[in-house]
Structure 1
Amino acid sequence: MTNKEMMRQLYERMAAEQQKYKAWLLEQPPNVILDNACKFTVREDIVMELEVLELTDAQAAALLRSRTPLADVYRAWERAETHHMDDVRDVIEARADTVIRAEKEKGQREER
């Protein structure tokens, strides 16, 4: 099997796994849906990234050996150290600074 075929098969399996999870999730009460919103979104991101990601033959084959490659990748993501909250903080601070600059520039123009 070529790399392209393996990647297509892996994508299709992960996408099907996500569709099954989505169908299950939509049958749940609102509080369960909300509790799983982040998980759903991250899993969507994993599937989306797989569309453009280029894995080696060995990497693709390793993931294909799993019955639930998406769930496996998600569990690994959960355990991984990420900088998500640092990124959120940086965006908040940058937005506040942008507003301050805009207000300052507006005040200077009005003074003229």
Structure 2
Amino acid sequence: MERIHYVDGSVVTGTAIAQSLLRFGEALARRQSSATVRIPTRQADGAVGSATFLLGPASQMVTESESSPYDELIDDALVASFEREASLIGVPRVQIDDQPTAAAELSVSLDVDES
């Protein structure tokens, strides 16, 4: 699960939903465009609710992983629609995993002359 933080609050949703929402929001922002979208959310008591987001150039959202005793929220059709729209706008899908890449493992040493 992921918690999406925005202006004055936050909601919990499925990981794939949150990540695809961010990619779609990024795509819209790059095009100076906006859209209103509704996503499923997990409420504190475990019930499924929903939240509506206005995505656009001024959107400021952060997601973080969150453990939950409840099942992961999954909406494959919604994720696919966000991914499709982001691709049409021009933002490629990037797969993020926990494995370090060669770039992440690169160590840089700088010699600094303090004279």
Range of TM-score over shorter length = under 0.3
Q: Provide TM-score, normalisation by structure 2.
A: 0.25
| Higher relative contact order, structure no. (Cα contacts within 8 Å, ≥ 6 residues apart) | 1
**TM-score normalised by structure 1 residue count:** 0.25
| Greater C-alpha radius of gyration | 1
